[in-house]
């Protein structure tokens, strides 16, 4: 006959130990009972009246606020975009399969935020912070609201430091400063994205963190941008925010604000950041689509009246903070598309008035083979010169004026009129400068080389170099500049002495007598 636990305890004189798991469970249940206080629970619940085309109308939710985050019973989500007396217009951000008439909707009493911080470097995320690169979600310890007010005026500082793009024409004639808003504008297919990519690639080892926002782009374009950044090791300091063409309109609407929030967090931490919006024309069309669907009154070109305020509050977040606030900066490069080079349409004129300058890319220059196809006559940087290095500013000061005068003189030569000797000399000088300013895609150059070629050009050391051998002469200057270790702080006399050695007459004759030139140095004279 088997003894029970009680018999064993009596025979041994010891008490069996209690089950610790059972004790902890009892304590937990007891704590819940003691902490329970009966009361009323208030929950506001709405019903979907209609849904489609990326929006939903909800009846109920009387306490819903503009830009509030809304959740649905099928795990969908949306953003309050329009308030009416009897219903709420919601832009869908995540659409469940069961969403339809009669689905329940709930207020969250909060706005949309996104994870920020160093965990996003090298990642590809959507405007809600969800990963798109087939890797686990980034472990962000901090979150930031997407739409926040721009820094107040007393926290800002003047633009005093340059942001180099690696593009010869931009860094010399249309300089960009850290904290500036510079518009990149032009027709479709003239190289706006390539110019933005060059700028990102040139920030390597410059202590600038980049955010590239792709709005409504095709998946092939997104993949191409991603592979370009990855192959050049630029993802180490870059975050991609993607709302591709097949995404919900709500995600495309939020994409630039998500990119601004990510860059803004680094700015407040004292870092220099660069955010690129590619492009705001698509963003404006998405905003117009959502506004018309939700029955907002249309204005010029059917855009709602607050489209200017939408883009201005986005771009005003780009600034340079005072050193008391950490001294960080946020440079914004928005892209906008024109039709047949027309700048007077609604969205381009809005953005031109908001930003601190524009880089205009012309279709005719692109077709003529002048790349990057930047039209210097219609491009301007209003505050970039404040951050330009003094030696670069001095070397490029007269050069832009000479180049613009050359472009005007070249127009008159098309009429076949006879030219004076001085005019012909200016034309030859301008043609040489135009060849120097040509640059291949994804081949950025350091600022020290740019100073070298500007000095060589102004000193006349390149005057005897035929146009077809200019690229080879520039490559030699770049190699010798890198080997010399000269920097912007070195004296101009030192630069000129080295340039004369590098471009001695024997070297000029070598360029002039290169095979295929069809002329000798004596003929060139």
Active-site annotation holds for 382:
yes
In 3D, which of 369, 432, 372 has the Cα closest to residue 402? Answer: 432
- The strand pairing partners of 358, in sequence order, are 183, 380
Cβ atoms 208, 274 nearer than 8 A: yes
Catalytic residue among 382, 443, 492, 500: 382
d(CA 264, CA 332): 11
Q: Give one DSSP letter per residue of 21-74, joined into a string.
A: HHHHHHHHHHHHHHH---------EEEEEEEETTEEEEE--TT--TTEEEEETT
Contacts by 369-372 with C-beta closer than 8 Å and gap 24+?
370/434, 370/437, 370/438, 371/191, 371/438, 371/439, 371/440, 371/441, 372/167, 372/169, 372/191, 372/194, 372/195, 372/439, 372/441
In 3D, which of 490, 504, 435 has the Cα closest to residue 466? Answer: 435
Cβ atoms 376, 403 nearer than 8 A: yes
β strands within 154-260, DSSP E: 183-187, 208-215, 238-243
In 3D, which of 268, 357, 358, 264 has the Cα closest to residue 314? Answer: 264
In 3D, which of 358, 327, 362 has the Cα closest to residue 341? Answer: 362
Sheet holding 124-125, edge to edge: 124-125, 238-243, 208-215, 272-278, 329-338, 183-187, 357-361, 380-381
Task: State whether residue 209 is helix, strand or coil.
Answer: strand
d(CA 452, CA 492): 10
d(CA 63, CA 60): 9
d(CA 51, CA 94): 13
Task: State whether residue 510 is helix, strand or coil.
Answer: helix
Which helix (DSSP H) or strand (DSSP E) does residue 88 occupy?
Answer: strand 87-94
d(CA 92, CA 84): 17
Q: Report, as residue numbers or ranges, the catalytic residues.
A: 382
């Amino acid at each position: 006959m088997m003894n029970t636990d009680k018999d064993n305890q009596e025979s041994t004189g010891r008490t069996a130990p209690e089950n610790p798991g059972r004790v902890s469970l009892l304590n937990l249940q007891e704590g819940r009972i003691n902490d329970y206080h009966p009361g009323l629970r208030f929950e506001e619940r709405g019903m979907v009246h209609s849904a489609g085309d990326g929006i939903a109308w909800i009846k109920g939710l009387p306490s819903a606020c503009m830009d509030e985050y809304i959740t649905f019973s099928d795990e969908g989500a949306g953003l309050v975009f329009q308030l009416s007396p009897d219903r709420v217009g919601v832009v869908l951000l995540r659409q469940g399969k069961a969403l339809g008439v009669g689905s329940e909707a709930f207020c969250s009493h909060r706005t949309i935020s996104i994870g920020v911080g160093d965990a996003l470097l090298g990642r590809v995320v959507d405007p809600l912070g969800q990963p798109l690169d087939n890797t686990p979600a980034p472990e962000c310890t901090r979150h930031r609201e997407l739409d926040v007010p721009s820094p107040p005026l007393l926290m800002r500082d003047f633009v005093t430091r340059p942001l180099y793009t690696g593009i010869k024409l931009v860094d010399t004639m249309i300089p960009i400063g850290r904290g500036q808003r510079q518009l990149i504008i032009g027709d479709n297919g003239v190289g706006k994205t390539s110019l933005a990519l060059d700028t990102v690639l040139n920030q390597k080892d410059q202590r600038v963190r980049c955010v590239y926002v792709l709005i409504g782009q095709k998946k092939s374009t997104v993949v191409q941008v991603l592979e370009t950044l990855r192959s050049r090791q630029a993802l180490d300091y870059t975050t991609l925010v993607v709302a591709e063409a097949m995404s919900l309109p709500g995600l495309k609407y939020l994409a630039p604000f998500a990119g601004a929030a990510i860059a803004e967090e680094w700015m407040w931490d004292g870092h220099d950041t660069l955010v690129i919006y590619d492009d705001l024309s698509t963003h404006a069309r998405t905003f117009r689509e959502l506004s018309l669907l939700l029955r907002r009154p249309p204005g010029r070109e059917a855009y709602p009246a607050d489209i200017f305020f939408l883009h201005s509050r986005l771009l005003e977040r780009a600034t340079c903070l005072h050193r008391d606030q950490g001294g960080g900066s946020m440079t914004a490069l928005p892209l906008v598309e024109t039709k047949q080079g027309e700048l007077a349409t609604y969205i381009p004129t809005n953005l031109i008035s908001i930003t601190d300058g524009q880089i205009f890319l012309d279709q005719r220059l692109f077709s003529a083979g002048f790349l990057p196809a930047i039209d210097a006559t219609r491009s301007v940087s209003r505050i970039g010169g404040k951050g330009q290095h003094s030696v670069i500013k001095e070397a490029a000061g007269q050069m832009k004026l000479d180049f613009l005068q050359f472009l005007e003189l070249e127009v008159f030569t098309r009429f076949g009129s006879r030219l004076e000797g001085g005019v012909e000399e200016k034309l030859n000088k301008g043609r040489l400068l135009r060849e120097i300013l040509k640059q291949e895609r994804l081949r950025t150059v350091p600022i020290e080389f740019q100073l070298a070629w500007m000095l060589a050009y102004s000193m006349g050391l390149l005057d005897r170099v035929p146009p077809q051998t200019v690229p080879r002469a520039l490559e030699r200057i770049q190699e010798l500049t890198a080997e010399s270790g000269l920097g912007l702080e070195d004296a101009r006399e030192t630069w000129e002495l080295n340039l004369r050695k590098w471009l001695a007459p024997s070297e000029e004759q070598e360029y002039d007598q290169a095979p295929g030139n069809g002329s000798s140095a004596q003929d060139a004279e």
